[in-house]
Structure 1
Amino acid sequence: MIVAVTGGKGGVGKSTVAYNLGAELDAVVVDADLGMADLPTGHGPDLHDVLAGRADAVEAVREDGPVDLLPCGRSLAGAHAADPRRLVDTLAAVERVSGPVVVDCPAGLGSDVGLPLLAADASLLVTTPDRIALADAVRARALARELDAGLLAVALNRADPDAPVDHVEETFGAPVVPVPERAAIARGTANGLPARQVAASCGEPFAALAGHVRLVAR
């Protein structure tokens, strides 16, 4: 199964949710933000190399950390050399060999978002409670629906106890999982650690999101 983590607006926490969802599902996380990659990287081939035809997709997956990851390069030259049209086949190749795939989509609603949604079996939406983020998330859901990537759940990031969970659930017609803002979660992602390894309670929202994915994957 390929799950696209999207949301429209940048800065809502898509990368953090994608990384932790991958940890809970024992999936390969693919950083598909070709211009502004945000997940941990390292030495060796990356998604830029794969999309440029310089590396094999499966061989570029890094399995030496707590989450299997196909990272994306961060150089302008790498981004220019990459052919985004190869992304759909790349994701399918990783899924065939490695099993479940979680794709961290770029921000916005352009073709670079459409391609991972086109490849995905389903989508998971990330938004914050503020009005602009919710409006962008509505447009992102419409794009996912148009590309037949059905919505599994909504991660309501940076949710305080008064977050409008019922309103968001009614707006999107999907289960909503509040994700409280915790510095430990962001710090863990920056250091390549899933939230559940930082503190058990930090991982609970992502375990709940993974539960919604598993219900559909059965």
Structure 2
Amino acid sequence: MIVAVTGGKGGVGKSTVALNLGSELDAVVVDADLAMADLPATRGPDLHDVLAGRAEPLEAISTVGTVSLLSCGRTLAGARGCDLLAFTETIEQVAKEYEHIVIDCPAGMAADAGLPLVAADSCLLVTVPQRFALADAVRTRTLARQLDTGLLRVVLNRTGDNPPVEIVERTLGAPVTAIPESKTLAQAQRHGRPVATTASESTSAERFAELGRAVHRCRS
């Protein structure tokens, strides 16, 4: 199973969702944001090196805490040196060795944002309860449909009391998992760790566990 975590708008928490979902699924998490990587950096080769032909995909996978991660470089030169056409083949090679892959997609609607959707079997759409973010999510939903990438679920991130779950479900046409605003979750992300490893009894950890189970059910 290859799941792309997408959303269109930057800053809605795609990387947080990808890292925590990867932990729940025991997946390899791929940081596909070639220009603005947000998941933890690792030693050794990274996705920039793989897409430039300097490393093999499997040798670029590292373990960060409890998560297997194919991280991405941080330099503009590294991003410019990537062959985008090699991305799908890279994911296919990783999929031969790992049962589950979670791809953290870049923001926007450019070609590099569409490539993970092409490589994935399905996607999760991340948004926040703000009108502008929901409009971006609708555009990304349209792109996923055009690329024939099925939408498994919507993650409504950074919610407060009474999140607009029903409105979001009607607008985007998929079940919603609401993740509340949480200092505990934000702190775990700053340290590059899933919240289940730092605050396993928290509401955020429970919601990500629910999300992982929901994804499994959708694929079964």
Question: TM-score normalised to the size of structure 1?
Answer: 0.97
CA contact (8 A) 2:5 2:124 kept: yes
For 2:47 and 2:71, how far apart are their aligned partners in 1?
6
User: Match for residue 217 of structure 2?
Assistant: 215
Deviation per residue, 1:151-177 (Å, 9 max, x gap): 111110011112111111111111101
Q: How does 1:93-172 map to 2 (within 5 A)?
A: 93-172=93-172
- C-alpha displacement at 1:64, in angstroms? 4.9
**Which 4+ runs in 1 deviate beyond 2 A?**
none
Count of paired positions: 218
User: Match for residue 187 of structure 1?
Assistant: 187
Deviation per residue, 1:7-30 (Å, 9 max, x gap): 000000000000000000000000
The one-letter amino acid paired with 1:204 is E
For 1:159 and 1:210, how far apart are their aligned partners in 2?
19
Moved more, 180-189 or 41-50: 180-189
Deviation per residue, 1:56-86 (Å, 9 max, x gap): 0011110252100000000111111111111
Q: Secondary structure at the match of 1:63?
A: strand
For 2:190 and 2:71, how far apart are their aligned partners in 1?
13
Q: Secondary structure at the match of 1:134?
A: helix
Q: Quote the RMSD (CA, aligned, Å).
A: 1.0
CA contact (8 A) 2:88 2:116 kept: yes
Q: Secondary structure at the match of 2:34?
A: coil
CA contact (8 A) 1:66 1:192 kept: no
For 1:42 and 1:22, how far apart are their aligned partners in 2?
16
Q: Secondary structure at the match of 1:188?
A: helix
Question: TM-score normalised to the size of structure 2?
Answer: 0.96
The one-letter amino acid paired with 1:217 is R
CA contact (8 A) 1:39 1:190 kept: no
* Structure 2: gaps of 5 or more residues: none
- C-alpha displacement at 1:42, in angstroms? 2.1
* Structure 1: gaps of 5 or more residues: none
